[in-house]
Amino acid sequence: MEYKYLNNIAGPDDVKKIPEDKLPELAAEIREALFNRLTKRGGHFGPNFGMVEMTIALHYVFDSPKDQMVFDVAHQTYPHKMLTGRARAYTDDEHFGEVGGFTNPEESDHDMFYIGHTSTSVSLATGLAKGRDLTGRGGNVIAIIGDGSLSGGEALEGLDYAGEMDTNLIIVVNDNEQSIAENHGGLYKNLAALRKSKGEFEINLFRSMGLDYMYVEEGNDISALIKAFREVKDTDHPIVVHVHTVKGKGYKPAEENRENWHWHAPFDRETGENLNNWGGESYNSIFADHISERIEKDKSIALVTAAVPGAVGLGQEKREKLEENYVDVGIAEEQATAMCSGIAKNGGKPIFATNATFAQRVYDQVTQDVSLNKSAVTIQLSSSSVFGMGDATHIGISAIGLFSNIPGLKYLSPTNREEYLAMLDYSIDQNEGPVVLAVPCDGVNPAEYPVMTDFSGPVKYQVCEKGKEVAVLALGDFFNLGKNTAEFIESKSGKKVTLINPRFASGLDEELLDSLCEDHSVIVTLEDGILDGGFGQKVASYLGSKGVKVLNYGFEKKFYDGVPPQTAMKECRLDPELIWEDVIRA
């Protein structure tokens, strides 16, 4: 492929030099570049293919970075990156590594924020507008938000506040009729009515929040978009431009199966088939199968997701089979959490399953709506781990510090397949209070030690191997690391090391810790999370006055950005040999 236009674009000024009637050729080149990267590397597919024309029109009309664009989630910004000096990261395989998957000010001045979570763009844009007005810098502020993100509380708060502002602010709603999976929420009926009436329907969510409104039906027609954006440029008040686009536009498999092609692994362009086989058992499939079986027998169970059913292995077919017992609230984690509390209150058995990074939204809801009310809600966290960590916007290693310190909540950290299922079943069936369950991420391992099934009552750690001198408390995901560490130390010292599975990140087995002090001089703790606020520090605090040495291992308090697990672990001395060195020193 020759990138006739794209190769000559160093920034938005170069886009503006292209005659308007040639812009569709640029669009075709962008799609080719997207194919080049996505077939080989994978990434967000549908959002980017749908945004090609809109991105060209935005940069044709507005003057970034003087005019400031905030892309919600920022997973749809591959075309934006191509038009702001980063095209070769898509056209040239050797430069794939030069861009991340989201906007990031460290990559380009055209990226306003480092963003990866949904529903933040409007609020951030109101701030840019306010800052602009206070400092007199001038320029347009444009938020670009997908329909799926509109159901998030932060987005709705942002729209509402924008509706009382009296200054330039443009909110482009990219309506492709789809969230990650299908949309959920009453407002989507309104968007449908607005699309059907070409924006004329009298009931209008945006107008009801005090915002001006314009509708553009041809969201993949560059000229229509240019016309619309020219109309709103330099507006003196907030206005919503509701644009109807086609998710995955330009690739038939993606247009036809929007959920599967929201994000996609490397694939064959001709057939749409995955290049790699992702077979084998995963915790996703284990959960999906187990919960489906349980729901078949117990209709009081309610599985709740917030727009990421894929994160727990629930494809469309599996979801439909769950009928009334499956609820997707859309991108609305606060709603999911509080709803679960209500379900529990009336005798249902709710499970809120989501990614650890998105659960960060609901500390207050878990505390107030759930835990203070002793509601027996299971909150299952995926990816609360160094394994599978992506950009700094999607890291789950804060989960222990965030949730384990909430009063009245049990944080369970299973170490293997059987223990995971035992904890899940315990949590579903108990009626005492909330449980956070951290799904293991270090592969599916079978149990090597007996598995407890009742996690009520006081915190009980499991002594897997009983030794002397040195004890290793290896939480959840890091149990295998702990086992390896104990074996390494044994091989070096010739003495049997005590190996413990703590099971609970939220509390101490004080009796056991006291007894360890009798014949141990060093206690090692390992956890798959940031050390500060986590599990090991509680152990160190409890043992602070006892005279035994405590060595805590976990991650640094920093934003790990695309760091491979092994690198992060080595940095933090999470390695049997390095731990052995520290033990000797202590």
Q: Which of residues 203-242 bind a second copy (CB under 8 A)?
A: 203-205, 207-211
Q: How far is the CB of 468 from a second copy (least distance, A)?
A: 19
Question: DSSP letter at 72?
Answer: S
Q: Nearer Cβ to a second copy, position 91 or 357? A: 357
Asked if residue 297 binds a second copy (CB under 8 A), the reply is: no
Among 13, 256, 364, 514, binds a second copy (CB under 8 A): 364
Q: How far apart are CA 123 and CA 301, in angstroms?
A: 36
Q: Nearer Cβ to a second copy, position 367 or 384? A: 367
**What are the structure tokens assigned to 107, written together?**
């990559």
Q: How far is the CB of 415 from a second copy (least distance, A)?
A: 22
Q: Nearer Cβ to a second copy, position 185 or 248? A: 185
Size of the site for a second copy (CB under 8 A): 122
Q: How far is the CB of 461 from a second copy (least distance, A)?
A: 17
**233: closest CA among 83, 56, 58, 65?**
58
Q: How far is the CB of 191 from a second copy (least distance, A)?
A: 9
What is the 3 state secondary structure string of 85-120? HHCHHHHCHHHHHHCCCCCCCCCCCCCCCCCCCCCC
Among 58, 73, 87, 125, binds a second copy (CB under 8 A): 125
Q: How far is the CB of 98 from a second copy (least distance, A)?
A: 20
Q: Which residue type is seen at 468? A: K
**254: closest CA among 25, 51, 490?**
51
- Scanning 15-23, 26-34, 392-400, 440-448 for contacts with a second copy by CB under 8 A, the matching segment is 392-400
Torsion of the alpha carbons at 387, 389, 394 and 399, rounded to the nearest 10: 40
DSSP for 470-482, please give it: EEEEE-GGGHHHH
Among 66, 230, 299, 466, binds a second copy (CB under 8 A): 299
Q: Nearer Cβ to a second copy, position 268 or 510? A: 510
Q: Which of residues 394-423 bind a second copy (CB under 8 A)?
A: 398, 401-402, 404-408
Q: How far apart are CA 115 and CA 146, in angstroms?
A: 14
Q: How far apart are CA 193 and CA 202, in angstroms?
A: 9
Asked if residue 541 binds a second copy (CB under 8 A), the reply is: yes
Question: How many CB atoms within 10 Å of residue 316?
Answer: 14
Q: How far is the CB of 158 from a second copy (least distance, A)?
A: 5
- Scanning 4-12, 390-398, 465-473, 481-489 for contacts with a second copy by CB under 8 A, the matching segment is 390-398
Interacting residues of 289 by C-beta distance below 8 A, sequence separation 6+: none
Q: How far apart are CA 401 and CA 532, in angstroms?
A: 7
Question: DSSP letter at 538?
Answer: H
- Scanning 16-24, 75-83, 124-132, 308-316 for contacts with a second copy by CB under 8 A, the matching segment is 124-132
- Scanning 256-264, 312-320, 336-344, 450-458 for contacts with a second copy by CB under 8 A, the matching segment is 336-344
Encoded one letter per residue, x for contact with a second copy by CB under 8 A and - for no contact, window 518-537 reads ------------xxxxx-xx
DSSP for 357-386, please give it: HHHGGGHHIIIIIIITTT---EEEEE--SS
Q: Nearer Cβ to a second copy, position 302 or 489? A: 302
Q: Which of residues 168-187 bind a second copy (CB under 8 A)?
A: 184-187
Per DSSP bridges, beta strands 263-264 and 43-44 are antiparallel
Question: How many CB atoms within 10 Å of residue 412?
Answer: 23
Angle between helices 121-135 and 153-162 (to 10 degrees): 40
Q: Which of residues 18-47 bind a second copy (CB under 8 A)?
A: none
Per the CB < 8 A criterion, the answer to whether 38 and 240 are in contact is: no
Q: Which of residues 547-576 bind a second copy (CB under 8 A)?
A: 547, 549-552, 557-559
Q: Which of residues 315-334 bind a second copy (CB under 8 A)?
A: 324-325, 327, 329-330, 332, 334
Q: How far apart are CA 67 and CA 62, in angstroms?
A: 6
Alpha helix locations (H) across 328-454? Answer: 333-345, 356-359, 363-364, 399-403, 417-429
Among 126, 168, 385, 462, binds a second copy (CB under 8 A): 126
User: φ, ψ for residue 479 (rounded to 5)?
Assistant: -60, -45
Q: Which of residues 130-169 bind a second copy (CB under 8 A)?
A: 130-135, 137, 151-154, 156-164
Q: Nearer Cβ to a second copy, position 286 or 497? A: 497
Half-sphere exposure of 50 (CA within 13 A, CB side): 31
Q: How far is the CB of 207 from a second copy (least distance, A)?
A: 5
**What are the structure tokens assigned to 531, written together?**
């050390």
Among 114, 251, 287, 326, binds a second copy (CB under 8 A): 114
Among 335, 383, 416, 427, binds a second copy (CB under 8 A): 335
Rg (the chain; Cα; Å) = 26
Q: Which of residues 43-102 bind a second copy (CB under 8 A)?
A: 68, 70
Q: Which of residues 468-497 bind a second copy (CB under 8 A)?
A: none
Q: Nearer Cβ to a second copy, position 96 or 161? A: 161
- Scanning 41-49, 283-291, 365-373, 421-429 for contacts with a second copy by CB under 8 A, the matching segment is 365-373
- Scanning 9-17, 40-48, 241-249, 359-367 for contacts with a second copy by CB under 8 A, the matching segment is 359-367
